[in-house]
Structure 1
Amino acid sequence: MTLAQNDPQATRLSQTTPAGAATQREAQATPPLTMQISGKLSGRGHARPKQADAKLDPELQEQLTALFQHGQHQQAAARCAELLNSHRKSAFLWELLGRCHLAQAALDEAATCLNKACELNPTSATTFAAMGDVYRRQNRPEDAVALYKKALALDSTCLSALNNLGNTLLNQDRIIEADQCFASAIDQAPDNAQLLYNRANIQRQLGNLGIARDLYGRAARFAPGFLEARYNLAQLTGMAGDRVEAIRNLEQILLARPNDDRARAQKLRLMADLCDWRWLDEYQDHRRHLGLRGSACAPQAQICLEDNPDLLRIRMQAHASAGLQSDPAPQRPRAETRPPQLRVGYFVSSNQDLDALRLLDSLLARHDQSRFSLYVYTASAPRADLVGVLHRDIRGLSPTTIKTQAVADQLDIAIDLTSYTQEADATVFSARIAPVQIAMPGFPGTMGAPAYDYIVGDAVTCPPGSERYFEEHLIRLPHSYQSISGPQDLSGHQFSRRDCGLPDEAFVFCSFTAGHAITPREFDIWMRLLTKIDGSVLWLADHPEEAQAALRQAAGDRRVDPDRVIFAAPCTGEERMARSMVADLFLDSFTLNAGPAARDALVAGLPVLTMAGRQFAARTTASLLAAAGMEELQTTTPQAYEARALELASDRDQLMALRSKLRLMQSKAPLFDTAGYMLDLERGLDMVFARHCDALLPQHVTVPAEDVLPAKPADSYSAAQTAGTPIHAA
Structure 2
Amino acid sequence: MDGQAVAAAGVAFGRGDYLGVLSLLSPWLGTSTDAAPLVLLGDALAHLGLPGEAAQVFERAAACPGADVSASLGRATALYVEAGDDDRAQLIGIKLLDVMPGDTSLAYHLALSFRRTGDTGLVHLLVESLAKSGDADHLKLAGEILSGSERNPLALTVFRKLAALFPDDPYTQFKFMSVARDFCDFAAIETLEQADAVRSASGDLSFLAGETAYSNLLHCGDERLNRLAANNPGLTIPSPGHSRLRRMRQHAWGERIRLGYLSSDFWSGHATMRLLQSVLEAHDKSRFDVTLFCYTPEHHAASDANRSKWGEIVTLHGKSDAEAADIIRRHDIDVLVDLKGHTGGSRSNILNQMVAPVQVAWLGFPGSAMHVDCDYIIGDRIVLPASARQNYHEKFCLLPESYQPNDPVHRALPDATDRGALGLPSDRFVFAAFNAGRKISLAALDRWAQILHRCDHSVLWMMIDGDLARSNMLAAFGKRGVSADKLIFASATGYEAHIARLQAADLGLDTFPYNGHTTTSDKLWAGLPVISVKGSNFASRVSESLLGALGLPQLVAGTPEAFVEMAVQLAHNPGEIARLKQEILRNRFVSPLFDAERFCRHLEQGLSIMVDRGRAKLPPEHFEVPALPVRAHPFSSRT
Give the shorter-chain TM-score range: 0.7 to 0.9
C-alpha separation in 2, matches of 1:349 and 1:489? 20
SS of equivalent residue, structure 1 residue 582? coil
Matches for 1:229-268 after TM superposition, within 5 Å: 230-238=142-150, 241-242=151-152, 244-254=153-163, 257-268=166-177
Instruction: Choose which of 271, 279, 288 in structure 2 pairs with 1:372.
Output: 288
- Correspondence 1:578 to 2:500: yes
Aligned twin of 2:451 = 529
Instruction: Choose which of 187, 190, 200 in structure 2 pairs with 1:280.
Output: 190
Give the residue type in structure 2 aligned to 1:356: T
Cα deviation, residue 403, structure 1: 1.5
Instruction: Choose which of 458, 475, 478 in structure 2 pairs with 1:553.
Output: 475
Matches for 1:286-365 after TM superposition, within 5 Å: 286-287=196-197, 288=199, 292=206, 296-315=210-229, 318-319=230-231, 323-326=235-238, 339-349=254-264, 354-365=270-281
Aligned twin of 2:599 = 677
C-alpha separation in 2, matches of 1:389 and 1:228? 44
**Cα distance 1:196–1:623, how it changes in 2: closer, same or farther (>3 A)?**
farther
CA contact (8 A) 1:583 1:606 kept: yes
CA contact (8 A) 2:278 2:408 kept: no
Aligned twin of 1:91 = none
Matches for 1:25-424 after TM superposition, within 5 Å: 214=124, 225=137, 230-238=142-150, 241-242=151-152, 244-254=153-163, 257-278=166-187, 279-287=189-197, 288=199, 292=206, 296-315=210-229, 318-319=230-231, 323-326=235-238, 339-349=254-264, 354-378=270-294, 379=296, 380=298, 386=308, 389-424=311-346
Cα deviation, residue 661, structure 1: 1.2
Instruction: Choose which of 521, 524, 528 in structure 2 pairs with 1:599.
Output: 521
Which ranges in structure 2 are unaligned for 5 or more consecutive residues? Answer: 1-46, 51-83, 91-108
**Cα distance 1:401–1:229, how it changes in 2: closer, same or farther (>3 A)?**
farther
Cα deviation, residue 260, structure 1: 2.9
Cα deviation, residue 441, structure 1: 3.1
Post-superposition Cα deviations, 1:495-547, rounded to whole Å, max 9, x if no partner, equal 11111111112111111122122234223332333333332111111333222
**Cα distance 1:263–1:409, how it changes in 2: closer, same or farther (>3 A)?**
farther
C-alpha separation in 2, matches of 1:367 and 1:211? 46
> Number of matched residues?
527
Matches for 1:425-574 after TM superposition, within 5 Å: 425-486=347-408, 492=414, 494-574=416-496
> Percent identity at matched positions?
27
Which ranges in structure 1 are unaligned for 5 or more consecutive residues? Answer: 1-65, 70-183, 204-209, 721-730
Cα deviation, residue 647, structure 1: 1.5
Cα deviation, residue 255, structure 1: 5.3
Q: Tell which deviates more after alignment, 257-266 or 190-199.
A: 190-199
Post-superposition Cα deviations, 1:275-334, rounded to whole Å, max 9, x if no partner, equal 22221221231353787469642223221122111111122xx34687241276996975
C-alpha separation in 2, matches of 1:581 and 1:392? 39
Cα deviation, residue 552, structure 1: 2.2
Aligned twin of 2:552 = 630
Cα deviation, residue 477, structure 1: 0.7
Aligned CA RMSD, in angstroms, stands at 3.8
C-alpha separation in 1, matches of 2:283 and 2:123? 40
Post-superposition Cα deviations, 1:159-217, rounded to whole Å, max 9, x if no partner, equal xxxxxxxxxxxxxxxxxxxxxxxxx99769876988876787xx9xxxxxx76985996
C-alpha separation in 1, matches of 2:572 and 2:423? 23
C-alpha separation in 1, matches of 2:543 and 2:324? 34
Cα deviation, residue 626, structure 1: 0.7
Post-superposition Cα deviations, 1:214-245, rounded to whole Å, max 9, x if no partner, equal 5996998999638875554342121xx11x32
Give the residue type in structure 1 aligned to 2:149: T
Cα deviation, residue 414, structure 1: 1.0
**Cα distance 1:339–1:626, how it changes in 2: closer, same or farther (>3 A)?**
same
Cα deviation, residue 389, structure 1: 2.5
Q: Tell which deviates more after alignment, 642-651 or 605-614.
A: 642-651
Cα deviation, residue 600, structure 1: 1.0
CA contact (8 A) 2:532 2:544 kept: yes
C-alpha separation in 2, matches of 1:585 and 1:442? 26
**Cα distance 1:187–1:671, how it changes in 2: closer, same or farther (>3 A)?**
farther
**Cα distance 1:186–1:441, how it changes in 2: closer, same or farther (>3 A)?**
farther
C-alpha separation in 2, matches of 1:553 and 1:366? 48
Cα deviation, residue 474, structure 1: 1.3
C-alpha separation in 2, matches of 1:574 and 1:510? 17
Aligned twin of 1:14 = none
- TM normalised by structure 1 equals 0.65
C-alpha separation in 1, matches of 2:403 and 2:85? 50
Give the residue type in structure 2 aligned to 1:312: N
Give the residue type in structure 2 aligned to 1:716: S
CA contact (8 A) 1:196 1:215 kept: no
Matches for 1:602-621 after TM superposition, within 5 Å: 602-621=524-543
CA contact (8 A) 1:495 1:579 kept: yes
CA contact (8 A) 1:262 1:291 kept: no
Q: Tell which deviates more after alignment, 274-283 or 644-653.
A: 274-283
CA contact (8 A) 2:335 2:357 kept: yes
Give the residue type in structure 2 aligned to 1:371: R
SS of equivalent residue, structure 1 residue 689? helix
- TM normalised by structure 2 equals 0.73
CA contact (8 A) 1:483 1:672 kept: yes
Give the residue type in structure 1 aligned to 2:264: S
Cα deviation, residue 574, structure 1: 1.3
Q: Tell which deviates more after alignment, 561-570 or 333-342.
A: 333-342
**Cα distance 1:411–1:337, how it changes in 2: closer, same or farther (>3 A)?**
closer
C-alpha separation in 1, matches of 2:467 and 2:483? 18
SS of equivalent residue, structure 1 residue 237? coil
C-alpha separation in 2, matches of 1:336 and 1:400? 19
Post-superposition Cα deviations, 1:360-382, rounded to whole Å, max 9, x if no partner, equal 42332111111111111222457
C-alpha separation in 2, matches of 1:224 and 1:550? 26
**Cα distance 1:609–1:294, how it changes in 2: closer, same or farther (>3 A)?**
closer
SS of equivalent residue, structure 1 residue 314? coil
C-alpha separation in 2, matches of 1:575 and 1:518? 23
